[in-house]
Structure 1
Amino acid sequence: MRHAVAAPVRLLVLGDSLTAGYGLPAEEGFQAKLAAALKAKGADVVLVDAAVSGDTTADAAARLDWALGGGEVDAALVELGGNDGLRALDPKQMRANLTHILDTFQAKHIPVLLSGMIAPPNLGTEYGDQFTAVFTDLGRRPGLIYDPFFLEGLVGHPDLAQADGLHPNAAGVDIEVARLTPIILTLVAQAQAQMKDLPKAGQG
């Protein structure tokens, strides 16, 4: 956590293919469009790309120290879980992985937006309920900003998906960014408050 209030907020995007822009030109991917939307709102934000296509929560947890080691980070967007669901991995392990990730950010005084995921319906109701409960429970952590479903507004709209039926196309990304930008602006404001207040508290 840095302490220079005038500096841009460095937002780490810890995610999988959905935030890595899989299947799209770089300028049409989630991060490029999010950066443009934040700039249009007057927010001074630098995105730090830590999204890797194919990553499970275990993969992201394993590389978290590396992702944080590349420079100062002031806030984080965590978008994970889709690949855990596609591989029918144990929701208990997903919970442990995400808890480790969130604990690490908390220890470093880095505010977080956790964006949730829903399991594929073919895995059954019991698995789906356990999967969803991981995000619902973690979303109640004090100080955490929680968005229940990263793909909200896209499921059931094949015109917003790529040919694989899983990843948003450019129009789908536009919807994601429009929906998430106000939430991320709240995260940015939280980070700016942290950047200002931590030196006074002698923390960091």
Structure 2
Amino acid sequence: MDRRGWSITGGVVAVLLALSACGSGGEDAPLPEPRAMQEAAANPLPVMGPERRILAFGDSLFAGYGLQDGESYPARLEAALRARGINARVTNAGVSGDTTQAGRQRLSFVLENDAAAPDLAIVELGGNDLLRGLPPEQTRENLAAILAELQRRKIPVLLMGMRAPPNLGADYQRDFDALYPALAKQYGADLVPFFLAAIYDQPRLIQQDHVHPTAEGVSTLVGATVDQVAAAIPPAGE
């Protein structure tokens, strides 16, 4: 996601934060580092085995909008996987502002210009569709085309789900939220139901634009999802 559609963005995040803050209290309490990240840092394993190539295909949540080099989700995911002994190389194919339609249009170019097919593709798109209020059926059609192309190329997928806020309407919310589980089932993809689940209700982990994670927020996202990423990587030789 990016800053375009600012008025919609502010409304979406404000609603999510307001809902999550009700009755929470203790906002200034320190946030613990994710257990997965703590354990990996304390007990790094030797990197072994063949290189596992992972394509991180998404929007600004992958691109690292507003962050320094090495602070993006793909960069920190690679470090977390390597700390577990997985010889991972994560390619950051995140483009700020991409909708699912834009991702659909550039997928073949990305795949055909990579040196070799990835062992796993992580697909993170749909946030900008939300910010623009695009019809859920359009988002579903574009994601289906992306997943179908990856399936055709026999590339396993981990799909990062998004969720619509209530202020877009009950029907919209129902239809949008349902499309990620349905597509994951249809195309045999692994699924993270809500990519931002670990940070959306933690304002200190989100940049001042109220959209993008801070560097600490990225670490929290990695800690919350690295187990699922590691499990989605197929065994070497498959």
**1:31-180 correspondence runs (5 A):** 31-71=74-114, 72=116, 73-141=118-186, 143-180=188-225
- The answer as to whether partners of 1:20 and 1:51 remain within 8 angstroms in 2 is yes
Tell me the distance in 1 between the aligned counterparts of 2:140 and 2:105: 14
Give 1 or 2 for the bigger CA radius of gyration: 2
Unaligned runs of 5+ in 2: 1-48
Checking the alignment, whether the CA contact within 8 Å between 1:33 and 1:174 is kept in structure 2 is: yes
CA distance in 2, matches of 1:26, 1:119: 30
Q: Deviations over 1:129-155 (max 9, x none)?
A: 111111121122353111100101211
Deviation at 1:84, TM superposition (A): 0.2
Looking at structure 1, the residues matched to 188 and 158 of structure 2 have their Cα atoms a distance apart, in angstroms, of 10
Q: Distance in 2 between matches of 1:125 and 1:75?
A: 34
CA distance in 2, matches of 1:85, 1:30: 21
Q: How far 1:179 moved relative to its partner?
A: 1.0
Query: Separation in 2 of the partners of 1:145 and 1:139?
Result: 6
Structure 2 residue corresponding to 1:28, chosen from 51, 64, 71? 71
CA contact (8 A) 2:71 2:215 kept: yes
| Distance in 2 (alpha carbons) for counterparts of 1:28 and 1:12 | 17
Q: Deviations over 1:64-112 (max 9, x none)?
A: 0001012212210000100000000011111110001101111111100
Q: Deviations over 1:44-76 (max 9, x none)?
A: 111122110100000000000001012212210
Q: Report the CA distance between 1:157 and its aligned residue.
A: 1.2
1:44 is paired with a residue whose SS is strand
Structure 1 unaligned blocks of 5 or more: 1-5, 198-204
AA in 2 matched with 1:114: L
1:14-45 per-residue CA deviation (whole Å, 9 max, x = no partner) reads 10010111111122221111111011001111
Q: TM-score, normalised by structure 2?
A: 0.76
Q: Which segment drifts farther, 153-162 or 60-69? A: 153-162
Among candidates 208, 213, 227, match of residue 182 of structure 1 = 227
Q: 1:86·1:119 contact (CA, 8 Å) conserved in 2? A: no
What residue is the counterpart of 1:200 in the other structure?
none
Q: Secondary structure at the match of 2:86?
A: coil
**Shift, 1:124, TM fit:** 1.5
Q: Distance in 1 between matches of 2:188 and 2:113?
A: 25
CA separation in 2, counterparts of 1:121 and 1:70?
40
Whole-angstrom distance in 2 between the partners of 1:106 and 1:162: 35
Native 8 Å contact 2:147 2:187 kept in 1: no
Runs ≥4 residues deviating over 6 A: none
Identity of aligned residues (%): 44
Q: Distance in 2 between matches of 1:121 and 1:45?
A: 38
Q: Hey, what's the Cα distance between the residues in 2 that align with 1:110 and 1:29?
A: 23
TM-score normalised according to structure 1 size: 0.88
